[in-house]
Structure 1
Amino acid sequence: MRGKPVNRLSTQGLLLLVFCCIWLRPLALSGQNADPAPNILIITVDNIGYGDLSPFNPNSAIITPNLNRLASQGARLTNFYTASPTCTASRATMLTGRIPQRNKLDKQLVGLEGNYGIGLPHSEIILPQVVKKSPHGYATAAFGKWNIGFAPGSRPTERGFDEFLGIASGNADHFTHVYAGRKDLYHNTNAINRHGQYSTDLFADAAIDFIREKSSGNTPWMVYLPFDAPHHPGDRNIEPGEANIWKAPDHAFEPYDFSPEETDPGKRFQAVVTAIDMAVGRLMVHLEELGVADNTFVFFYSDNGAFYPYLDIQSNAPFRGAGVTLWEGGIHVPAIARWPGKIKANSTIATRLWSPDIFVGVAALTAAEMPQDRFIDGKNFLPVLTGQTIHSPHAALYFAYQSQQALIWGDYKIIREKPEDSWMLFNLREDPSESRDLAGGSPDLVRKMEEPHRLIENEISSYLQREKKSLHIQARKK
């Protein structure tokens, strides 16, 4: 009599076990087969022109085998824009996903007062703060040029990055790390001295150490690696009597037929860029050795175009203009995306994208929730990068810097250097160098282009007024 209930329970238990095996096994297997969270590596370079790099200009004399390899392993983005033509604002747009007119950092931070001030308002949410909300538990770090404010509360480790090693300013000396007579190198919030270590190598090595540590613990990571090179040399950053020249480590001269004693500025500039290439190559080798290269999304781009005083040694070809202008040479920049198995190798993407899209794309990659309390100008560019669509997520791109204004819509661009000037009109597909102004013969098209520009300006003005009112109400409640 006592055995029957046991047999009955055993039968029920067996049925339950079979049920679980049949229905729950696929769920278990799907969890086992789920792709691990991708690592994120965002690399920026400082003031490199579209024509400086051979993946975009085969005639470039600069030796960059590692960047060439990166492009061959992923996609060249031939229609990528930075949302601002100057270093500070360009960085802020990428980190916030918002154009300068919304994030309120629309000018270059200069001097100690500017670089060590608040800079980007503390009310802005930047990319690592979003990534930190990912369910995957990302570690975050920044190594390189900050340049968006270094006052208390503005520093990288106070805005979502777990670790920072870099300069607060925009153009410290590459070997002494001095900016305007002040040591400018920091680890987290502490000033440090690494005199004699070349900044490109210093930042790359710090990134490698961080990546090695996190990868060995199977922790997904996001690294922001904004090199301060090849930014032109600054006379106020070097000791009295020292030559104001482009600086590179000796090993960066080895691929060339000239030595570190070379005085020609054009040749010295080439070595500075080659030093970046070597650092990127070393970083990619470590990703391979750690076994994480195939699961790492890499995005490389220049913050803005080369500046006018240096166009005799640099190149924004085939574009007109330079950094701090809204001509194509200032805002149309080289970009490369690599993600094996997701982004087609050795491909070219001609779809129009821009730097605020990085913010949204990385949020999507990390499964992090986007901020819901503000307007984000970026769009998710992953469908374009992974070949799901060839269509841009943007109908038009709006630009404003100082007195300059521009709007790109379809093949056409309107631009004026002062608000009181008449619009100029260019067909970028047929005339990427912006050499033939079509405005005089196409007044209707100019008016058609001017209308969305006016509407976007009005929308931004209205948005800022609502935001100001909302912040005022919140302040009163406190």
Structure 2
Amino acid sequence: MSTDPAKPNVVLILADNLGWGELGCYGGGVLRGAATPRIDALAKEGLLLHNFNVESDCVPTRSALMCGRHPIRTGCLQSVPAGMPQGLTPWERTLPEILHDSGYVSAHHGKWHLGDIPGRYPSDRGFDEWYGIPRTTDESQFTSALGYTADVAELPYIMKGKAGSASENVCVYDLTERRNIDETLVECSKDWLSRQAAAKAPFFLYHPLVHLHFPTLPHRYFEGKTGNGDFADSMAEMDYRVGQLIDHIESLGLADNTVLIFASDNGPEFRAPYKGTAGPWSGTYHTAMEGSLRVPFIIRWPGRVPKDVTSNEMVHVTDIFTTIASITKSQIPTDRPIDGIDQTELLTNPLNSKSPREGFLFYIKNDLRAIKWRDWKCHFVWEPKVNQSSGRLESPYLFNTTRDPKEETDILVYNTWVLQPILKMKAAFDKSLKMYPAPPDPLKE
């Protein structure tokens, strides 16, 4: 572990499809059927962001997190089935790779979803070791599905690997393992943290949870705990698992020099019976609504990030890459556009600082759906609910997200001036895409 304040340890816990309105500290908790005391307590120990923004679904967000670039640049546009070309190309530089150059060791325990063939597993992309699932958790339903056989669709596996060696299958990922996996992942991270406590190198732990992705099924110990069904029971388990990691970090004496981040990759689930909520915002992931963009984010860094503070300043998932690079004195690539902005000043001085980010473009696959600028959101395609698109708009819709958080009343005709800064952002980004086209992915040629 590192005791050097200039080289803090970093622990990043990423929930899967956790909506803005689920946690107690975001207005949910018992109102959603399950208290979340451990995550709520974490928020009291650091900074909670109200305006942390992500990409449209699992693969785009995780790619943006890992390389600080929008997925429209990297080609990580959507989730695809096993056997289809997917993942970050070898040309992309990942967060653990740049941290490794600064002397960090790293581990990944959880859901990867950025490559499922040799050369693209976590242990091939900068992590010293990994354990988890290479793709998505709905695959755990395969072996229970009517008509499924392994000769027509690949069996899903839980896997593990170490840098320099081939990754290997551990066991079939079925519905039984779906209930057990977050418990197993926590045990993996606890074991790894214990080993790092006795070492001298600074470390980076990336722990992408499986909860609350569908099928949202709790561990048998939590089944029936809340009396409010599987989703609430799974929220209670998720909160408990985060608490286990926090307790272990503190028991090892690591907390004082560890940056601990808890966030979500996407907006809430929309599939029954596991529907989530984005609180005051409309929409779910796979849309450009504010409920898709905004998700929970909490950071604790003792002595550097003040306690019990909230901020509505805008931060984007690409900023995590750049900010962790800044905090750890790591070098980001200079041969390609990096969309992430260093938010260290905002995170360490939120009461007196403003975010250097004014907005961002939001794509779903290759389509520009919306642009967010300050308190304004301009939609070029209107799809308030998944698969309910009215298509590209002849006249865009404009909303003020402060006065109209559910994006119900288009006010473009009264505020056409807002198109000037928004379209200038688009023009600059379009120019960048032309100047710096992504290298071709050899798997897709």
Class of the TM-score when normalised by the shorter of the 2 chains: 0.7 to 0.9
Tell me whether 1:107 sits opposite 2:78 in the alignment.
Answer: yes
Identity of aligned residues (%): 27
Listed one character per residue, the Cα deviations across residues 318-375 of structure 1 (whole Å, up to 9, x for unaligned) are: 1111111111111111111111111111110221101111111111222111112111
User: Structure 1 94/177 Cα, relative in aligned 2: closer, same or farther at 3 Å?
Assistant: farther
Number of the residue aligned with 2:211: 229
Number of the residue aligned with 2:35: 63
Greater Rg over alpha carbons, structure: 1
Number of the residue aligned with 2:379: 415
- Structure 1 or 2: larger helix share? 1
How far residue 312 of structure 1 moved from its aligned partner, in angstroms, is 7.5
1:132 to 100, 104, 121: 100
TM-score of the two chains, using structure 2 as the length reference: 0.86
SS where residue 370 of structure 1 aligns? Answer: coil
**Which 10-residue stretch deviates more, 154-163 or 386-395?**
386-395
Distance 1:359 1:68 in 2: 25
Query: Contact between 2:224 and 2:230, CA under 8 Å: does it hold in 1?
Result: no
User: Structure 1 312/106 Cα, relative in aligned 2: closer, same or farther at 3 Å?
Assistant: closer
Counterparts of 1:301-312 in structure 2, within 5 Å, are 301-310=263-272
User: Structure 1 426/311 Cα, relative in aligned 2: closer, same or farther at 3 Å?
Assistant: farther
Query: Contact between 2:56 and 2:363, CA under 8 Å: does it hold in 1?
Result: no
Letter in 2 for 1:211: L
Query: Contact between 1:248 and 1:275, CA under 8 Å: does it hold in 2?
Result: yes
Distance 1:39 1:433 in 2: 38
1:81 to 53, 58, 75: 53
Distance 2:371 2:253 in 1: 43
Listed one character per residue, the Cα deviations across residues 27-76 of structure 1 (whole Å, up to 9, x for unaligned) are: xxxxxx96362110111111111111111114433221111111111111
Aligned length: 412
Number of the residue aligned with 2:131: 165
TM-score of the two chains, using structure 1 as the length reference: 0.80
**Which 10-residue stretch deviates more, 433-442 or 201-210?**
433-442
SS where residue 110 of structure 2 aligns? Answer: strand
Counterparts of 1:37-436 in structure 2, within 5 Å, are 37-58=7-28, 59-82=31-54, 84-108=55-79, 110-114=80-84, 117-134=85-102, 137-172=103-138, 182-188=155-161, 189-193=167-171, 196=176, 198-233=180-215, 246-253=216-223, 255-256=225-226, 258=227, 267-310=229-272, 313-387=275-349, 389-402=352-365, 403-417=367-381, 418-436=391-409
User: Structure 1 120/144 Cα, relative in aligned 2: closer, same or farther at 3 Å?
Assistant: same
Distance 2:434 2:135 in 1: 30
Distance 2:333 2:202 in 1: 21
**Stretches of structure 1 lacking an aligned partner (at least 5 in a row):** 1-32, 234-245, 259-265, 473-478
How far residue 172 of structure 1 moved from its aligned partner, in angstroms, is 4.7
SS where residue 232 of structure 2 aligns? Answer: helix
Query: Contact between 1:177 and 1:199, CA under 8 Å: does it hold in 2?
Result: no
Query: Contact between 2:197 and 2:252, CA under 8 Å: does it hold in 1?
Result: yes
Distance 1:376 1:330 in 2: 23
Distance 1:323 1:49 in 2: 9
Distance 1:174 1:182 in 2: 9
**Stretches of structure 2 lacking an aligned partner (at least 5 in a row):** 145-149, 162-166, 382-390
Number of the residue aligned with 2:386: none
